[in-house]
Amino acid sequence: MVFPVPEAWAERAHMDAAGYEAAWKRVQADPEGFWKEVAGRLDWIKAPTKIKDVSYAKEDFHIRWFEDGVLNVSANCLDRHLPTRADDVAFIWEGDNPAQSRKITYREAHEEVCRMANVLKSRGVAKGDRVTIYLPMIPEAAYAMLACARIGAVHSVVFGGFSPDSLAGRIQDCDSRLVITADEGLRGGKVVPLMRNVAAALEDCPGVDTVLVVSRTGADVPMKAGRDIPYGPERAAAGVDCAPEPMNAEDPLFILYTSGSTGKPKGVLHTTGGYAVWASWTHELVFDYRPGEIYWCTADVGWVTGHSYIVYGPLANAATSVIFEGVPNYPTSSRFWEVIDKHQVEIFYTAPTALRALMREGEAPVQRTSRKSLRLLGSVGEPINPEAWLWYHRVVGEGRCPIVDTWWQTETGACLVSPLPGATALKPGSATKPLPGVYLQLVDAEGKVLDGATSGNLCITDSWPGQMRTVYGDHQRFFDTYFSTYPGKYFTGDGCRRDEDGYYWITGRVDDVINVSGHRMGTAEIESALVGHHDVAEAAVVGFPHDIKGQGIYAYVTLKADVQPTENLRKDLVLWVRQEIGPFAAPDAIQWAPGLPKTRSGKIMRRILRKVAENDLGNLGDTSTLADPAVVDDLVKNRIGR
Ligand code: WTA
């Protein structure tokens, strides 16, 4: 099934089909000239003359873009719009409670960011320092990011759903001295105890000397004298001007922790010039954005989608960006569509997991609303199944709105593979084609390059400006994780099919990363939480297909010898993981496993565990190499029936 480009879109588009072809030709013929021109969309204090300097080779590994350029991202997102657009709306904030919303102009956003930047400076934060941001979806979250960018501090935003332990690990890893949080958050009518979590986390973070506490609910939260400082009075006393710090293009802009197959979450580091160019360029192309249009990305700023497509990309493009504090089904499952009507949203960008959950409620909650303002829909975070795609298109968009299914990763900074609404015919479930200058390649397990219509592991053979630059504090891990599996290439960790038209269909992770309701997790992190429980001897976690979440979490747990498996213990373990990592990491199924399938050298055969969790029993493969093949019979017999 193919949906052709609507004529009106081809006419209005920044890039139509011919433009896309032409851009590909130009970037191949003259990459430096092409990227120099793209970089020209930003305001540079000193324009770059060196455009690209990249080697993926082991001996000489480095990634640099626009390296002699100087700019400030906060100035690009705010100051440069002031002469002509000061009264345009930068943010529309929609509260968890539908009675609460607010519009913030570029002038106001600039003032708020300057105030917060001045507060940070007065507390001793200087260029290069790391600041941890643990806030709900309130405008201060965006101000905090931009305030850091303004003074050259490196922000690390931690999603408000993370536990005190997870927060502490992230604060310690990047050695933040200052944390910005709120008294409480509000989501779906429930309180999120942010300050309480921070207080618990800081018991393990002696390096933090200042916590700025934004008042969201006004609740009476414990404040430690000398360390915890209410933000309100500081803000009121701060100056409304703060000169933006000139930053080198390769100076760090932010760290964002994300999960990999092994070990602790990695601090993905993005730098200033390349990231800002990429977020801004892709936001304009993929959403065909023009200033004045009302644009809403429903992600949380705690994830990369919120960084690139609520804050940096849209603001660099003088957009009006909606910040939504709530959830899709509160107070009712019409909420998304009501917010669209209320603010006349034209471009709407969300995750398949939300769509699948809303789809289950039927069409009535959608049809109660008008949605006439909508022109373009987007999807991100996980593969969108064709059924959900078609529902999104037919019911939400009433057949008139193209859907941009955007594939990318925390590591890639912003979109790499996506349809362009004026250029690309759509196929439900396919992220379609790479943006100009993104060189995709499919390889087999041995690294052999696969041509034509085929399936394989998705690699990228050359750099793009928004690529991550390092793992914070561990450059070797950066190289080993992404560039050593297939030498000379960036390996994404995703499996992918390419069809006869050259369209790409992402099939999901091929490593031990799982994607649960769009939340990316390493199975190793959940295992490590489980074995931290005093009754657990060993644990193995795999993903399994889940109708709403995309993937669910299936845990095999071996208890210590004297421990009885009980329903209470099962509940206790679920609670334990929620507390250790965060509510979104709670296992969907826990199977008691007297033994795990291991090779004679002691390696757990995850392939078998995945098959059992998927109920795909005809396909267990060769189990004869296992140390104890009988283990598998027990796993099969006692699998959690679904
Ligand atoms: C998956 C989120 C299919 C993929 C922006 C990737 C997708 C991981 C899509 C990155 C998509 C993201 N279609 N799969 N449109 N978008 N993914 O770092 O497996 O949270 O590797 O970044 O999400 O997740 P991350």
What dotted CATH number matches 517-638?
Answer: 3.30.300.30
In ligand 1, the atom with minimum distance to the C-alpha of 508 is: 19
* pLDDT for residue 556 is more than 80: yes
Q: Which residue is it, tokens 């400082």?
A: 229
Q: Is 190 annotated as a binding residue?
A: yes
The finding on whether 383 has its CB within 6 A of some atom of ligand 1 is yes
Nearest CA owner, ligand 1 atom 6: 409
Give residue-wise pLDDT tens across range 13-34. 999 999 999 999 999 999 999 9
CA 472 to the chain's CA centroid: 17
Q: Is 519 annotated as a binding residue?
A: no
- Centre of ligand 1 from the C-alpha of residue 416, in Å: 11
Q: H-type helices in 15-81, by residue range? A: 17-29, 31-39, 73-77
Q: Is 413 annotated as a binding residue?
A: no
- Centre of ligand 1 from the C-alpha of residue 383, in Å: 7
Helix (H, G, I), strand (E, B) or coil at 300: coil
DSSP notation for 410-467: GGGSS-SB---TTT--B-TT--B-BPTT--EEEE-TT--EE-SSEEEEEEE-S--TT-
pTM, two decimals, is 0.96
- Centre of ligand 1 from the C-alpha of residue 583, in Å: 20
How large is the average pLDDT for residues 589-612? Answer: 92
**CA–CA separation, 94 vs 38, rounded Å?**
33
In ligand 1, the atom with minimum distance to the C-alpha of 492 is: 21
* pLDDT for residue 629 is more than 90: no
Would you say 67 and 48 are in contact if contact means Cβ atoms under 8 Å apart? yes
In ligand 1, the atom with minimum distance to the C-alpha of 509 is: 19
> Of the residues 392, 510, 515, which should be mutated to test ligand 1's pocket, given the most ligand atoms within 8 Å of the CB?
515
How large is the average pLDDT for residues 325-344? Answer: 98
Residue 133: both structure tokens together: 């941001």
The finding on whether 228 has its CB within 6 A of some atom of ligand 1 is no
* pLDDT for residue 279 is more than 70: yes
What does pLDDT average to over the chain?
97
- Centre of ligand 1 from the C-alpha of residue 21, in Å: 26
The finding on whether 333 has its CB within 6 A of some atom of ligand 1 is no
- Centre of ligand 1 from the C-alpha of residue 402, in Å: 20
The finding on whether 407 has its CB within 6 A of some atom of ligand 1 is yes
The pLDDT score that the predictor gives to residue 554 is 97
Q: Is 456 annotated as a binding residue?
A: no
Give residue-wise pLDDT tens across range 216-267. 999 999 999 999 999 999 999 999 999 999 999 999 999 999 998 888 899 9
The pLDDT score that the predictor gives to residue 625 is 83
* pLDDT for residue 621 is more than 90: no
**CA–CA separation, 268 vs 349, rounded Å?**
23
Kindly give, in sequence order, each residue whose CB lies less than 8 Å from that of residue 2, ignoring residues fewer than 6 positions away. 425, 426, 427
ipTM of the complex: 0.99
How large is the average pLDDT for residues 293-312? Answer: 98
DSSP notation for 246-283: PEETTSEEEEEEE--SSSSPEEEEEEHHHHHHHHHHHH
Nearest CA owner, ligand 1 atom 22: 409
Bridge partners, residue 519, by sequence: 516
**CA–CA separation, 416 vs 581, rounded Å?**
30
- Centre of ligand 1 from the C-alpha of residue 408, in Å: 5
The finding on whether 381 has its CB within 6 A of some atom of ligand 1 is yes
Q: Is 455 annotated as a binding residue?
A: no
Pick from 462, 504, 457, 56: nearest CA to 449 = 457
Residue 373 sits at the vertex; the CA angle it makes with 378 and 349, to the nearest 5 degrees, is 15
* pLDDT for residue 498 is more than 60: yes
Nearest CA owner, ligand 1 atom 1: 382
Residue 573 sits at the vertex; the CA angle it makes with 634 and 265, to the nearest 5 degrees, is 100
Give residue-wise pLDDT tens across range 122-159. 999 999 999 999 999 999 999 999 999 999 999 999 99
- Centre of ligand 1 from the C-alpha of residue 540, in Å: 23
Q: Which residue is it, tokens 């800081």?
A: 202
Give residue-wise pLDDT tens across range 448-473. 999 999 999 999 999 999 999 999 99
Share of the chain above pLDDT 70, in %: 100
Bridge partners, residue 132, by sequence: 156, 179
Lowest pLDDT segment from 413-417, 455-459, 602-606: 602-606
Q: Is 381 annotated as a binding residue?
A: yes
Residue 103: both structure tokens together: 């519009």
* pLDDT for residue 642 is more than 80: no
In ligand 1, the atom with minimum distance to the C-alpha of 417 is: 15
Q: Which residue is it, tokens 């089909």?
A: 17
Q: Which fold has domain 1-438?
A: Rossmann fold (3.40.50)
For CATH 3.40.50.12780, the residue range(s) in the chain are 1-438
Pick from 256, 253, 241: nearest CA to 148 = 253
Considering all CA atoms of the chain, what is the largest pairwise distance in Å, rounded to the nearest integer? 74
In ligand 1, the atom with minimum distance to the C-alpha of 258 is: 18
Residue type, 434: P
- Centre of ligand 1 from the C-alpha of residue 206, in Å: 35
The band of 602, judged by pLDDT with boundaries at 50, 70 and 90, is confident
In ligand 1, the atom with minimum distance to the C-alpha of 383 is: 3
- Centre of ligand 1 from the C-alpha of residue 233, in Å: 40
**CA–CA separation, 123 vs 557, rounded Å?**
47
Residue type, 310: I
The pLDDT score that the predictor gives to residue 260 is 86
